[in-house]
């Protein structure tokens, strides 16, 4: 597909950010046709260039994060560099930055200056705690946002310390909200004849927004949700089970009709229609019994046998992929992922 046919073709974005949240936001915009100009400081550049696995001296992650972008080197802290950025902003539709609040203003890019340069400019700020509030000035990485947003408290097993998800999910979720905000602001500007806007994304709020009924459960019932390992609290059954050949399968039969089909697949026709298992609230009361039945059945079959039987009966199940599994999977290949 030609880039001129992509939905964001003609939109010009200036990225003044480092590492993950800002650059991931602009990466998505670039993938859909926006012209993204990434600004890096002289000498060092984006610190992500040296993170994780390097290829020819540069991080493979940086290549992923920076694809489809144009990179320039400018020291905006100098008078000459600031003029370069100001001239670029006059032509841009969007500015994305993920520094600590007030940083770009100290460089000379205050809201008033940005408004004067380009009244139609959309500015997306991404920070740990947002542009306002008592924590606004604090340094905040995705890991802190994940912790204060509630995710880390729920991740892991109840008898062990909280753990992290294996990717920078706090930054990535904040990036997605940045993109959503930018798209809404573009719509407001271009379709409803509105002007430019400022978007304020906080990492901890992005994570908190994912926390389902965490707060209502505490507010109305005094329930504090705790770590539950690989199970999904209050939803039965959905868990990870070990197969006969020592591999693992994720099985989610928490739909009422789905669980009835699973009972038949497991050869437990005697329990089909049992009132204890007809609805989720009933199954939750008998979680240990259900888990033991599934563990026993899965343990009698190898991974392929389990997957074939479950897929044939429309029961959601899958194996746990590593990078090699993903690369070799025919479905990934068929969809050009």
Catalytically active residues are 171
| Sequence-ordered alpha helix ranges (H) in the chain | 21-31, 60-66, 79-91, 103-106, 111-117, 142-148, 151-154, 169-190, 203-208, 214-221, 256-265, 280-285, 287-298, 303-312, 323-328, 330-334
Q: Give which of 207, 155, 204, 200 is closest to 182, Cα–Cα.
A: 200
Q: Please tell me the distance from the alpha carbon of residue 157 to that of residue 228, in angstroms, as a whole number.
A: 5
Neighbours of 267 (CB within 10 A): 9
Selection from 125, 122, 92, 124 nearest residue 195 by Cα: 122
Cβ density class 53-74: b for 16+ within 10 Å, e for less: eeeeeebebbeebbebbeeeeb
**What b/e readout covers 119-129, taking b as 16+ CB neighbours within 10 angstroms?**
eebbbbbbbbb
CA angle 48, 167, 72 (to 5 degrees): 25
Cα angle 165, 59, 141; round to 5: 40
d(CA 197, CA 123): 6
CA distance linking residue 123 with residue 237, whole number of Å: 44
3-class secondary-structure state, position 123? strand
In contact, 51 and 62? CB cutoff 8 Å:
yes
């Amino acid at each position: 597909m030609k880039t001129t046919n992509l939905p964001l073709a003609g939109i010009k974005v200036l990225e003044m950010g480092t590492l993950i949240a800002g650059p991931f936001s602009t990466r998505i915009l670039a993938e859909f046709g926006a012209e993204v100009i990434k600004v890096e400081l002289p000498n060092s550049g984006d610190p992500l260039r040296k993170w994780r696995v390097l290829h020819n001296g540069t991080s493979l992650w940086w290549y992923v994060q920076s694809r489809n972008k144009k990179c320039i080197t400018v020291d905006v802290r100098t008078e000459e560099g600031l003029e370069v950025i100001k001239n670029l902003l006059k032509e841009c539709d969007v500015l994305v930055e993920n520094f600590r609040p007030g940083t770009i203003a100290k460089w000379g890019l205050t809201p008033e200056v940005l408004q004067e340069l380009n009244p139609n400019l959309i500015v997306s700020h991404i920070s740990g705690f947002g542009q306002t509030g008592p924590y606004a000035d604090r340094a905040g990485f995705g890991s802190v946002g994940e912790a204060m947003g509630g995710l880390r408290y729920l991740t892991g097993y109840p008898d062990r310390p909280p753990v992290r998800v294996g990717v920078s999910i706090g930054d990535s979720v904040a990036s997605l909200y940045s993109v959503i905000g930018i798209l809404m602001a573009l719509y407001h500007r271009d379709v409803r004849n509105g002007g430019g806007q400022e978007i304020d994304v906080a990492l901890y709020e992005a994570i908190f927004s994912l926390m389902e009924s965490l707060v209502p459960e505490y507010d109305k019932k005094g329930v504090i949700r705790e770590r539950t390992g690989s199970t999904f609290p209050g939803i039965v059954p959905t868990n990870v089970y070990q197969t006969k050949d020592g591999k693992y399968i994720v099985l989610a039969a928490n739909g009422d009709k789905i669980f009835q089909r699973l009972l038949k697949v497991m050869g437990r026709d005697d329990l089909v229609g049992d009132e204890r298992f007809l609805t989720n609230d009933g199954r939750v009361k008998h979680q240990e019994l259900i888990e033991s039945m599934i563990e026993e059945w899965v343990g009698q079959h190898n991974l392929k046998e389990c997957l074939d039987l479950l897929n044939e009966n429309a029961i959601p199940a899958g194996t746990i992929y590593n990078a090699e599994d993903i690369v070799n999977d025919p479905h990934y290949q068929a969809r050009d992922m």
